[in-house]
Chain A
Amino acid sequence: MIETGRPEALLPLALFMALMLGVSFFVRWQARTGEGGFLRQYFVGNRDLGGFVLAMTTVATYSSVSSFVGGPGMAWSVGFGWIYMAVVQVTAVFLVLGIFGKRVALLARKFGAVTVVDILRRRFRSDALAATAAFIIVLFFCATMTAQFVGGAKLFAAVTGYSYELGLLLFGLAVVVYTTIGGFRAVAITDALCAIMMMIGIVLLFFYVLEAGGGYGAIMDHIAANEPKMLEPFSGGNMPAGLYLTQWILVGICTIALPQSVVRGISYRDTKGLHRAMIIGTVVVGFMNIGVNFTGILAHGVLTGPVASYGGVDNIIPSTIAAVMPPSLIGLAIVGPIAASISTISSLLLVGSSAIVKDVYLHYRGKQGKTTSDAALRRLSMAVTAILGAAVFLIALTPPSLIWLINMFAFGGLETAFFWTLLLGLFWRRANRLGAFLSMGGGTVVYCLTQGLGFKIMGLHQITIGISLSLVLFLIGSFLGEPEPKEVLREFFPE
């Protein structure tokens, strides 16, 4: 670690956060005409994203701080098997956009929907289902956001020598403020800038790791001589086959159902942009995953001790940054991981806020026959976003232990709840309310219970239980219950 408190290490991050705030105020100023109504403006950016920004915001939302810290730390300890596993994430953009991108875009325009829950409510004619979905979103999003705050602030403290709290204050407050003020369009544009900073950060670290390790050839010779297991797919047992399987499910296939990804299908302007985004997104997500994990492996040229001497895998990347970067560039090197953290938080914060404002509050007001003015909507939406952000910020100040596990736990929970409900709901006529309800409710409850009790089948991550059970429950419900009425089906499946 470097000595405490280098002011120059703060400067790049502070400038970057100022840029984020600037973008947000600019977007707010630009949107002052209020075209399309406030909700559409604030929660889906008036459905006006182009291909590049759509790709970048999808990647940046998906890639979290653990992709930058925990992941490459594991690559350092496991070897190439870890990259082989991580590369399944090249599916994370094209699958969700290819399967749901146009489907939700068309449905959202038809119904004037601005959230994924809007569409589910319409499909299954169920307020209880919509409320359950909104609750699951808020619950798991808060857990994920806390993990992102904690991860970013810990990295900040480890690398700059300043305190955890200062880091949290610096980027945590900024992300809550810029999301609250600028809404979706600010989130999308700042996400794109974050994705660019992540890539710069990876290239920078890659370059300095190579240099400090004496060049690519020397590092690879060192690994081949001292860590031959790292060159095997199973890494001498460190990388079991079951892990490959569950990672395909958890961070590959089932990510198509993450509400924060699916909502991006409501936000783009035209299909040309969608097609471009699928290609750009695949290029970028692959570059990041391979780049950052490969850098983790090459850090063997710099960190040659056993993993315990660095205090665990989560400290590998902070230690590497501190060891290889010139002091003047340390500040720049942490912007990438922090960008990964805030670009995830901003999107989750906004979708969480839309779940409370649009999916719950406004719906019940509408049912009571009350209307809400655009000015009141603006105040309410911003207040909810700010309060939700502040709540998570406060939790992160005194973080619960085992925070790193929470990220994957929440991923699995959201996937269990939404995978079949969205996939079957939007593509299968027979899917009905009972099936969706059993699948979302039952699957998620059992997933959480098995996680809580540490119960596994064949040693596999509980996502396998959650996703299988929610399918079975969905099918049982759909065949036992009545099909949805013809007029609903005609809206969703034109004949």
Chain B
Amino acid sequence: MTEKEKYRQVCREAAATGIALLVLIVFWLFAGFGLAGSAATIFRLPLWAAASTVGVWIFAIVLVWVLTKFVFRDMDLEEERHD
């Protein structure tokens, strides 16, 4: 990658990370406040208490995996000598 291509890629990754944050916030709102009215329980916890803690954690891990797998690219961090 040239310096310019690296810069473009870095911006793309930063923007995707920002979008991942928004997705996580929406999931977090839904899993906690959204499910707070449900009477269902899981492992003796109210559904919201499980979904908004362990659920959010697992969701975040999957989200980061998707980021690093599909958006982030490997690049040489040293400067290209030939361009």
Q: What is the interface of chain A, defined by CB distance below 8 A to chain B?
A: 80, 83-84, 87-88, 90-91, 94-95, 98-100, 102-103, 105-106, 109-110, 216-217, 220-221, 224, 231-233, 248, 253, 270-272, 275-276, 278-279, 282-283, 286-287, 290, 294, 427, 493-495
Tell me, in angstroms, the Cα distance from A84 to B61 when the chains sit together: 16
Residue total for B at the interface (Cβ-Cβ under 8 A) = 43
> What residue of chain A has the Cβ atom nearest to residue B60's Cβ?
A90
Considering the complex, give the chain B residue whose CB is closest to the CB of A495: B4
Please indicate the chain A residues that have their CB under 8 angstroms from the CB of B36 in the complex. Answer: 232-233
B10 at the interface (CB under 8 A from A): yes
List the A residue with the shortest CB-CB distance to B49.
A80
Instruction: Name which residue of chain A comes closest to B18, CB basis.
Output: A99
B65 near A217: Cβ-Cβ < 8 Å? no
Interface positions, chain B 8-38, Cβ under 8 Å from A, are 10-11, 13-14, 16-18, 20-21, 24-25, 28, 32-33, 36
Q: Is the Cβ of B11 less than 8 Å from the Cβ of A427?
A: yes
Closest Cβ of chain A: how far from B37's Cβ, in Å? 10
A80 x B14 contact (CB < 8 A) = no
Chain A residues with CB under 8 Å of B44's CB are 216-217, 220-221, 224
Nearest-Cβ distance from residue B15 to partner chain A, whole angstroms: 9
Main secondary structure of the interface of B (DSSP, over half): helix
Q: Is the CB of B56 within 8 A of A91?
A: no
User: In the bound complex, do residue A84 and residue B52 qualify as a contact, i.e. CB atoms below 8 Å apart?
Assistant: yes
Complex Cα–Cα for A117 and B6 (A)? 23
- Which residue of B3, B49, B72 is within 8 Å of A275 (Cβ)? B72
A279 adjacent to B14 (CB under 8 Å) = no
CA distance A110 to B49 in the complex (A): 47
| A427-B28 contact in complex given A94-B64, A272-B74, C-beta closer than 8 Å | no
Chain B residue, CB-CB nearest to A99: B14
B13 proximity list for chain A (CB < 8 A) = 98, 102
Report if A278-B60 is in contact (Cβ < 8 Å); known contacts: A84-B49, A216-B44, A494-B4. no
Knowing A87-B57, A88-B28, say if A233 contacts B14 (CB, 8 Å): no
Q: List 16 A-B contacts (CB under 8 A).
A: A91-B21, A95-B17, A102-B6, A102-B10, A102-B77, A103-B10, A105-B77, A106-B10, A220-B44, A231-B49, A270-B74, A272-B74, A282-B64, A286-B57, A290-B57, A294-B53
- CB nearest to B56 among chain A residues: A87
Residues of B within 8 A of A110 (CB): 79
Q: Are B14 and A286 in contact, CB atoms less than 8 angstroms apart?
A: no
A56 to B40, CA, bound (A): 36
Tell me the minimal C-beta distance from A322 to chain B in angstroms: 27
Extra contacts besides A83-B49, A217-B44, A290-B57 (7): CB < 8 Å: A98-B67, A102-B75, A220-B44, A232-B36, A271-B72, A271-B73, A279-B64
B22 to chain A, nearest CB (A): 10
Cα A412 to Cα B66 in complex, Å, equals 31
Q: How far apart are the CA atoms of A279 and B78 in the complex, in Å?
A: 24
Q: Which residues of B contact A231 (CB under 8 A)?
A: 45-46, 49
Which residues of A have CB within 8 Å of B61?
A: 279, 282-283, 286
Whether B77 and A91, one on each chain, are in contact in the complex, defined by CB atoms closer than 8 angstroms, is no
Q: Let me know if A275 and B68 touch, CB within 8 A.
A: yes
